[in-house]
Amino acid sequence: MSSNDVKLNGDHLDELHRFRTAGSVQISAELFEKLYLTPQTVVKGELRKTFGNPTPIGLVGFLIALTPLSCELMGWRGATSSGAAGIATYFFFGGLLQFIAGLLEWVLGNTFPSVVFCCFGAFFFSFGGTLNPNFGAYAAYAPAGEPASAGLATRGFNASFGFILLWMGVMTLIFLVCSLRVNICFFVIFLSLLLALIFLTVAYWLLADDIVGNAGLASKMLVTAGACAFVTCAAGWWIFFAIMLATLDFPVQIPVGDLSRFIKPGGLQKRLQEEV
């Protein structure tokens, strides 16, 4: 083997190593936030040299669960707003994939996306369980002698489910504030999702009040919530596409609007390093 061949093989291995290890390349803050959805100054770890990036896994779970649901809420092509057709999707995409991604983000030290994925994974598990007849969630509200599905129309069920959506909205509001340190796409995701949860809460509480005319207004609230959720998904698909392009070092990159440089860190990372 000639010296030129040895040099070429060495260059090839160096290039391969550059693609396989995130720690071997100095990446910009914007690219870091695009890949990991967490400010670069918050956490640094050696595990990224060994493990892949779990962020797109969590995004796929979130998007495949929420995008069809948003279309159903808007009634596209005659779909109904019950969401029952997607029960399996809520369990395996919305719940399982996001929960796995959240645990992997935790292993890598990415606290913010870990909390986000685990929380919304748990929500989709709960949502799927509520709609699943085997869980008996709405059957418990059905009047005596009537089928289990009658529980979905009762005041007790709709009022109670509205409280779940309300506190999911409070959690999303906290995520919205925190996303000001990440990127514009993440901010749009949480802003539109917060609006969707507000409209859903109003819709279920309107149904719970059982006043003539409320059903029509509640239906409009559900459609509006679906439209807001669709905006959430549009921003989510955008950032998912951006992450996949960046992951493969694609020559064309799309921006996500890095915000971490506008709100400066509070110095926690520096203090932790000084203590060590």
- Residues 98-144: tens digit of each pLDDT: 999 999 999 888 889 999 999 999 999 999 999 998 888 888 898 88
User: Which residues face 258 on adjacent strands?
Assistant: 183
Whether 28 is covered by a domain: the verdict is no
Whether 137 is covered by a domain: the verdict is yes
Whether 145 is covered by a domain: the verdict is yes
This prediction's pTM: 0.80
> Tokens in use for 89?
């999707």
Which pLDDT band, with edges at 50, 70 and 90, does 36 fall under? Answer: low
Give me the mean pLDDT over the 165-177 stretch.
97
Whether 83 is covered by a domain: the verdict is yes
Mean pLDDT of the chain: 82
Number of domains in the chain: 1
Q: What is the CA radius of gyration of the chain?
A: 22
> Tokens in use for 179?
């996303």
Whether 275 is covered by a domain: the verdict is no
Which pLDDT band, with edges at 50, 70 and 90, does 270 fall under? Answer: low
| Cβ neighbour number for residue 81 with a 10 Å cutoff | 18
What is the distance between the alpha carbons of residues 81 and 69, in angstroms, rounded to a whole number? 8
> Tokens in use for 230?
């669709």
Whether 86 is covered by a domain: the verdict is yes
Q: Residue 78: give the domain boundaries.
A: 47-266
